[in-house]
Amino acid sequence: MLKIEGLHVSYGGVQAVQDVSLEVRPGEITALLGANGAGKSSTLMAIIGAVKPKSGRVIFEGRDITGTPPEKLVAQGIAMIPEGARVFARQPVEQNLRLGAYTVRDESVCRQRLEHVYRLFPRLQERREQLAGTMSGGERQMLAIGRALMSGPRLLLIDEPSLGLSPLLVEQVFDALIELNRQSAVTVLLVEQNMAQALEAAKRAYVMQSGRIALSGDAAELAASDEVRKAYLGM
């Protein structure tokens, strides 16, 4: 569904991403993992056209979308949830969700999507009138996911959803991702530092180190491999 071929990103003299190629298959959760500064966010920024790659191509459903700006990607079926789950703090939950469907003119489509999001996240329905800024960290992350779903994406890109959340909330957020992937067949590219939990949620994974893909493969096999257990999971 999404293919990255030979991507290079640099900032001045810093080579942040070097020759990264990866594939996100339709219907799957694919994880892009690695420690701080490994180059994950730079890869994601290049995918959504927020930084210009030095070379390489981004192909979505067979079309070359390299350099297409983020606002145009929504109409093509790609939604992005940036790090930190930013929400409109002074707006109620439901209004936040509706803002995610700003490209949708048809109110009945908007309603259907709202109902779909509420089925996935009953907590958001219970809190539909609560101001988003007063939601807990985990609830805000779910709201950010729900808002992204309101644009009706086929591919969801999500940057570090576990950041700043307690282990229990991380589990809830990842369970929500698994559930939406299962129920709505939305394909997910999950960018994460939290390797243990991301490998449980994902089908396939790529591990970045110093701007390059160091390891890749089936997520369960990676989680069980000695190399990953020793180097990344501290086992």
- Binding site residues, ligand ATP, CB under 6 A: 11, 14, 16, 34, 36-42, 193
Question: Closest CB to ligand ATP among 151 and 194?
Answer: 194
Strands 2-11 and 55-60: antiparallel
CB of 16 to ligand ATP, least distance (A): 3
Q: Which is closer to ligand ATP, CB of 121 or CB of 232? A: 232
Q: Which two tokens stand for residue 127?
A: 């809190």
CB of 14 to ligand ATP, least distance (A): 5
Are 209 and 34 spatial neighbours (Cβ–Cβ below 8 Å)? yes
Give the Cβ contact number of residue 126 at 10 Å: 12
Task: Tell me how far, at minimum, the Cβ of 231 lies from ligand ATP, in Å.
Answer: 16
Q: How far is the CB of 149 from ligand ATP (least distance, A)?
A: 24
Total count of residues recorded for the chain: 235
Task: Match 């086992």 to its residue by tokens.
Answer: 235
Tokens (6 digits) for 116 = 């779909």
With 0-12 / 13-18 / 19 or more C-beta atoms within 10 angstroms meaning exposed / middle / buried, residue 7 is buried
Burial 30-60 (b: 16+ CB within 10 A, else e): bbbbbeeebbbbbbbbbbbbebebeebebeb
Select 20 or 73, whichever has its Cβ closest to ligand ATP.
20
Minimum Å gap between C-beta 44 and ligand ATP is: 8
Question: In terms of CB distance, is 153 or 211 closer to ligand ATP?
Answer: 211
User: Looking at beta carbons only, is 212 or 229 nearer to ligand ATP?
Assistant: 212
Residue number with CB closer to ligand ATP (40 or 98): 40
Strands 204-209 and 55-60: unpaired
Least distance from ligand ATP to the Cβ atom of residue 71, Å:
20
Tokens read off for 104: 């949708």
Query: d(Cα 24, Cα 1) in Å, to the nearest integer?
Result: 6
Query: What is the rounded radius of gyration, in angstroms, for the C-alpha atoms of the chain?
Result: 17
Q: How far is the CB of 143 from ligand ATP (least distance, A)?
A: 22
Residue number with CB closer to ligand ATP (56 or 100): 56
